[in-house]
Structure 1
């Protein structure tokens, strides 16, 4: 739309939008800018970045105009958040198509993330003057989140209501704040530790969408009442990496990857979401199984989590740099790993006996790049020349 609106659900037909713009469920999570920035880091495609930047900026401003309270915090319905049936307060209220006058922590953190990535894009495109309002919004949202969402008693961050205070329902959506760099360093330990706490988020399959200590938690998943969802797991991993909790990110990634591989062996498919208390597909509250053959976001586990976390490969193509953070002890490798728009790499790491041992690697590439090799015992920068 000319005013910036993007409908969250479309049918493949003319005028196939499923919602009117001002329906509270008409938009989805504000993550387009993050996705496009990541695409740029993986490809170096600044031409595409220049094309999408004005569209993403207009969308961000549409949301700021029509999805915020006077203080600048954001509201969102359950459907718009993607977490359809998750309770938003201790009374168990579910707001699929409404917003109950609450400030949504996930929506506010996603707006902060979007504003930051738009500023990054503007710097690359030399359009910094175009994002002055977003640069100001970064400070406003960060202050709102830390003033209203953080509970000093437990260090967790919650949705909040102007009269009723914080919701006190621990949602995985709170961890968008890590990726958005909303949390001051001194508050990170008390917030992150819940991901490693067995009474809340450290379950047999990590990470449930709702903490186990909630009375609304469902051991079979119950959709967003405990279900383990690949996109939110990936968000948690990226957030932990952003704030330097790489060891915890690796532990969660291994747990998630091992579990989805086991379920694939058992069922010969990947699933929409998974159960948190057993190594199986998830089930809704009425007993209906999650959707099978769901290689949309569920492809994140066997692809992105495998490559970025188990294998530790993280490209930054604009700088011609590839980080290889090696934590596995078994031998492993990747052939035809894409780097940028034309680069292809073959990478192999030999088996090791312990984490401190320096990895013995082989890299063949058709392009010039800098490899930043990391392991528990040290790091090394290696210049890779084209070999074919």
Structure 2
């Protein structure tokens, strides 16, 4: 929720919501709210960096990394967890347990409740995604520390990220299949070959080499695995446990994993695949909204029809929950802005917007806020391609258009940018 609410952080209390979690887990502060699963996926560092890109609030980085050290505490909280230990302020005991080759975990706290990973023997496998998430956390803690000129802390967490990356690639990567798999607790050299989008967490964490990333991206071009008209099913379509109606995590399309995978693809330059699958997924959500009653945003979506997914109870054929923006709003907000409209990177600290224009139609954003800047951008292609921009503050607009990058210095006020091939890249400014 923080990922899409950050686009309206002045309206939604994103920072305070995250602080609630830190204060309960790491300050043991009494609270009127409880945390359900304290060992939910440890994504705070990734989320906080994305929030920082929009707000530019460096004081918050100082609080997170130096004053409170909440992100380091959460990293160690996962590292030092012991199975079934009690956490004050949480409703459920911990299920994470770290051993030499990885982490034990469970379907429900991982978010993938009835996933066929491990074939229902969850405690017999080391979960690849939790290891990758810890690498991801270490990467972003290191990046935040560097932003604060804390070089020693940055180096410490960079080493931790490198150690996790080495473990992932030594034991969890299968070069023939081109995927990361969970591994057996009894024999870490044995992989548990269930293909799920969880395999893309190492890619998001930057653990892949370019040749590994290329193999992983190819699975989004295969109808029988994660591609097709309804991309990102929660288990590969060639898996024996796959269900065409979804059955929760046995085929259902879940926006958190789809968004993560899309971001992972972009990180390695697979923009076309990321954009194509994002558009197909959003079309599925839109067609479901139109065709299926009640007209709603759903908890998860079916992998072969414009309809919501079914729950994990195969005999009852019940539908997942409607009115569920909780995480499904990642589609019509984040994936629309970042993949369909092409605003791939908005950075308040650097005062830049990266806009990859590939849609040949009128499109843009009004009243985009980042830091102290509010700007509106509109691309039109008739009679000639150009961008209209208004802004209350100066910034740099980096436009990726027809295979080229062009940088434009945006000033306060209104301006036209001509993109025609036979025109110079001049900016016409109006008062």
TM-score by length of 2: 0.80
Aligned to 1:85: 114
Residue 334 of structure 1, aligned match among 343, 356, 365: 365
Q: Which residue of 2 is the match for residue 299 of structure 1?
A: 329
Q: Is the 8 A contact 1:78 1:94 kept in 2?
A: no
Give the SS at the match of 1:287: coil
- Tell me the distance in 1 between the aligned counterparts of 2:356 and 2:175: 35
Q: Specify the alignment match of 2:52 in structure 1.
A: 40
- Separation in 1 of the partners of 2:121 and 2:229? 26
| Structure 2 counterpart of 1:269 | 296
1:121 aligns with 2:144: yes
User: Matches of 1:166 and 1:230 in 2, distance apart?
Assistant: 27
Displacement of 1:376: 2.8
Contact 1:158 1:174 in 2 (8 A): yes
Contact 1:271–1:281, Cα closer than 8 Å, also in 2: yes
CA deviations over 1:268-312 (Å, ceiling 9, x no partner): 210110001111111123311111111111111111111111111
Q: Distance in 1 between matches of 2:46 and 2:103?
A: 18
- State the shift of 1:5 in Å: 9.3
Q: How does 1:1-388 map to 2 (within 5 A)?
A: 14=32, 16-18=34-36, 26-53=38-65, 54-66=69-81, 67=96, 69-71=98-100, 73-89=102-118, 92-93=119-120, 95=122, 99-100=123-124, 102-164=125-187, 165-266=190-291, 267=293, 268-284=295-311, 285=314, 286-313=316-343, 314-340=345-371, 342-351=372-381, 359-387=385-413
Q: TM-score, normalised by structure 1?
A: 0.89
Task: Report the CA distance shift for 1:312/1:155 in structure 2 as closer, same or farther (over 3 A).
Answer: same
Change in Cα spacing, 1:321 to 1:162, as seen in structure 2 (3 Å) is same
Task: Select the structure of larger CA radius of gyration.
Answer: 2
Measure how far apart 1:163 and its partner are.
3.0
CA distance in 1, matches of 2:277, 2:33: 42
For the 8 Å contact 2:300–2:308, the answer to whether it is kept is: yes
Structure 1 residue 68, shift from structure 2 partner:
5.3
Does the aligned pair in 1 maintain the 2:56–2:370 contact within 8 Å?
A: no
Aligned with 1:139: secondary structure? helix
How many equivalent pairs are there? Answer: 366
Deviations 1:155-182 (A, max 9, x none): 2110001434111000111101111011
Cα distance between partner residues in 2 of 1:316 and 1:229: 27
Provide closer, same or farther for how the CA distance between residues 196 and 172 of structure 1 changes in structure 2, counting only shifts above 3 A.
Answer: same
The answer (yes or no) to whether the contact 2:146–2:154 under 8 Å persists in 1 is: no
